[in-house]
Amino acid sequence: MNNLENQKADNLEKSLTKANKIKLLGLSQNALAESLIKLGTHEKNVSMRVKQVWSWVYTHGEMDFREMTNLSKNFRVFLQKNFSTERPEIVKKQISKDGTRKYLLKTSNIGEFETVFIPDDDRGTVCLSSQIGCTLNCSFCHTGTQKLVRNLEPFEMVGQVLAIKDDLMDWCENSKHNKRLVSNIVIMGMGEPLYNFDHVKNGLDIIMHNEGLSLSRKKITLSTSGVVPNIHRVANEIGCLLAISLHATTDAVRNRLVPINKKWSITELMLSLKNYPKLSNSERITFEYVMLKDVNDSLDDAKRLVKLVQGIPAKINLIPFNPWPGSNFEPSSSEQIKKFSNILRKAGYSSPVRKPRGKDILAACGQLKSNSIKPKKNSLFQDPNYIIS
Ligand code: SAH
Ligand code: SF4
């Protein structure tokens, strides 16, 4: 074999070893305990072992088993042999002039995905992706022009946060900052989270767990385009806050902007929200409303919007449209947005205008997209170790 072939064989062997190991990130404490027991760890030690490993990984950000120094040498070797701490690798990082950071990430699974960190004076928000591409194609959204490649797995949901915390050195050892830089999470990146419910839930469970990344459920907001059958599950099974991408006040316009509306109409969506479990004034539902010039920004729209949300503890986020290459809409003027927002405010609804962040690096709402495509059936690229972008 020549050098190149040797190297290829080496790489293949490495990735196969990696693929055979159990991925530690994304495993719940119970799932990790089960794996340890199956592999021969004594049951009486398991609960302590799980806590120790979680503390290294999620509190200290330590990914090298050899450095987990309060574990016995034998146990570290055992972990090394059976588990991988694989998490997304940063392929590319861009920093906007407003400080927003956009990352292109990949794992050993197919495809690449983007995630964003938005720093503010009082918080630092990670905008997580839930899928590569999207099955829906909202006409104003850049992600919607990328066909679904695949769902992200729990280790990739948690891994997005870990990769960012690494990049920011946001671990407890780093006493430079007295507070955590990553304080909030929005699931508003690529994809529709309620079409990947179980993986998103399992990832968020670890992010919220007090021995995991320990972010309060009230600092996490999941945004959906309106997958009605899964909306109540957000309150009942995840417990984080909910945002709804409404964007229109009539079915005719919403069918055009958010085509999932043809499946679940505005009436069905609002009914499900009126019956949403745990509704209280301290846990309002956020309605997202992208402001598109001459499409959905009339004052009649504002009045209809007030009627639609009546009876729901709500906050309405007005999002100036963020253009992307090839988009066919124009943003509403700031004057129109102000008039629109005044009507909502007079009716008693908080209606902040979302400040676009990271626009210069296409990191703002609805601008994310990667070049990954879904491999054709029977193609060489079906090999999970093969990464295309
Ligand atoms: N799929 C989910 C979450 C991701 S999109 C959803 O649709 O809710 C996050 C938010 O950005 C949504 O409210 C979406 O409608 C909005 N958005 C998409 N494209 C946009 C654009 N070009 N300008 C402004 N907001 C956009
Ligand atoms: Fe998908 Fe949300 Fe974009 Fe619609 S707005 S295409 S649901 S990511």
* CATH number of the structural domain spanning residue 207: 3.20.20.70
Nearest CA among 324, 364, 318 for reference residue 97:
364
SS3 content of the chain, % helix, strand, coil (to 5): 40, 15, 45
Query: What residues are in contact with ligand 1 under a 6 Å CB criterion?
Result: 138, 140-141, 188, 192, 223-225, 245, 288, 290, 319, 321-322, 365-366
- Residue of 145, 152, 194, 288 with the most ligand 1 atoms within 8 Å of its CB, for mutation: 288
383 confidence band (pLDDT: 50, 70, 90):
very low
Residue 377 lies in a domain: no
Rounded Cα–Cα distance for residues 313 and 285 (Å): 6
Residue 386 lies in a domain: no
Same domain, 223 and 281: yes
Would you place residue 95 in the very low, low, confident or very high pLDDT band (cuts 50, 70, 90)? very high
Does residue 113 sit in the same domain as residue 77?
Answer: no
Enclosing domain of residue 82? 3-86
- Angstrom distance (rounded) from CA 343 to CA 306: 8
* Residues 263 and 343 placed together within one structural domain of the fold: yes
Q: Are 24 and 73 members of one domain? A: yes
- Using 50, 70 and 90 to split pLDDT, how confident is the model at 18? low
Question: Do residues 15 and 108 share a domain?
Answer: no
pTM of the complete model: 0.91
Neighbours of 45 (CB within 10 A): 13
Claim to verify: residue 274 and residue 182 sit in the same structural domain: yes
Report the alpha-carbon distance of residue 145 to residue 138 in Å, rounded. 8
Is residue 151 a part of any domain in this protein? Answer: yes
143 Cβ below 6 A of ligand 2: yes
Q: Is 328 exposed, middle or buried (0-12, 13-18, 19+ CB in 10 A)?
A: exposed
Asked whether residue 47 falls in the same domain as residue 165, the answer is no
**CB burial readout 297-315, b (16+ within 10 A) else e:** beeebbeebbebbeebebe
Active site residue 365: yes
pLDDT of 217-252, one tens digit each? 999 999 999 999 999 999 999 999 999 999 999 999
Domain count across the chain: 2
Instruction: Answer whether residue 173 shows pLDDT above 70.
Output: no
Where a domain ends, among 86, 109, 126? 86
* Domain assignment present for 196: yes
- On whether both 281 and 319 belong to a single domain, the answer is yes
